[in-house]
Homo-oligomer: A and B are copies of this chain.
């Protein structure tokens, strides 16, 4: 299944014309369809101010050539109607706008072998670029656990938590998807060149911005809504109070995805934004991969097994026996009458308990009275 070619070409042109996620544009595409919108714009109709010199720019574009060039760079343009189109993105139609960004993307430029319709079982792991060693460690652990459980890990390819998340997934041999703010052909940040090369070979690099586009700030905000929409849930590992990761979490909440946060030291500014959201109830608290799987997986698939309590010999004693044991002096011997006084219990029940404790190996009795064994002292 694949979208009609005329529609794809119209979407290519519109993708090049506007900013990623600009609501005027995504709204008009939703209302009129890409072909009709392009034709109207070419005719310079006045559509909510978009007409300015748009017609000229639109006429100068050659979408077929764009697609051709993209293909030669290893990029494809996935649009609604394609079998590969991740239909979860359609939820964006009803999710409102943030920072004048919103709506279903006109199309996605994709580099890499991973097919986007494989994102049904996926998890976003995002957080601060200025992550601490603690945050890096936890993000990697959670991403690795998710990847091992078969969830596709999605992040934004940035410094800090994003990088740790991608690495955690890669460490398990799984593909990972990076949704970026610049063109999918570009590398930003440059220091992540090797990582992007790996992701492009094994997973996918995805962008709403056409090839060649630079990573402008506003594009990160538009990008965040895609990370939230493409996944079943978003885990924020570290986020300071105004972190962009909270913008992703906000989108995830609007889209009725699971929103999770990992706590950290309350003395760490890098966790402040997460703690605020946990306090307000906007996020649920997770501490490890197993917690996350319990939240995002279909009911019952990944129930957390509570860490088993270590049952000690002492735990097998009755409460009365423990009470008597606690009344036996630590260093010397004592008679059962003295132990009964200390325990505040009657002599008969204390004698019974001491007998049971001797059998269990916690006390020994001789002519001087009762004393603790090595086992009781342990």
Q: A266 near B279 (CB under 8 angstroms)?
A: no
Number of A interface residues, CB 8 Å? 55
Q: A275-B285, A285-B285 are in contact. Are A265 and B264 (CB under 8 A)?
A: yes
Kindly identify which residue among B22, B50, B100, B275 contacts A263, using a CB–CB cutoff of 8 Å. B275
Q: Whole-angstrom distance between the alpha carbons of A285 and B322 in the complex?
A: 35
A313 part of interface (Cβ distance < 8 Å): no
Q: Whole-angstrom distance between the alpha carbons of A347 and B53 in the complex?
A: 7
Q: Whole-angstrom distance between the alpha carbons of A262 and B348 in the complex?
A: 46
Q: Which residues of chain B are near A137, meaning CB under 8 Å?
A: 267
Nearest B residue (CB) for A342: B214
Which A320-356 residues have C-beta < 8 A from chain B?
A: 322-323, 326-327, 340-349
A99 part of interface (Cβ distance < 8 Å): yes
Closest 9 pairs between A and B when the two form their complex, measured CB to CB? A52-B346, A263-B263, A266-B287, A216-B326, A19-B344, A275-B287, A217-B326, A18-B344, A53-B347
Q: List 29 A-B contacts (CB under 8 A).
A: A17-B344, A18-B344, A19-B344, A22-B344, A49-B346, A52-B346, A53-B340, A53-B346, A53-B348, A54-B346, A57-B341, A138-B266, A138-B267, A216-B327, A218-B319, A218-B322, A218-B323, A218-B326, A241-B307, A242-B309, A262-B266, A263-B266, A263-B278, A264-B265, A265-B265, A266-B287, A266-B288, A272-B287, A278-B285
Chain A interface residues (CB < 8 Å from chain B): 17-19, 22, 49-54, 57, 99-100, 134, 137-138, 214, 216-218, 241-242, 262-267, 272, 275, 278-279, 284-288, 291, 307, 309, 319, 322-323, 326-327, 340-349
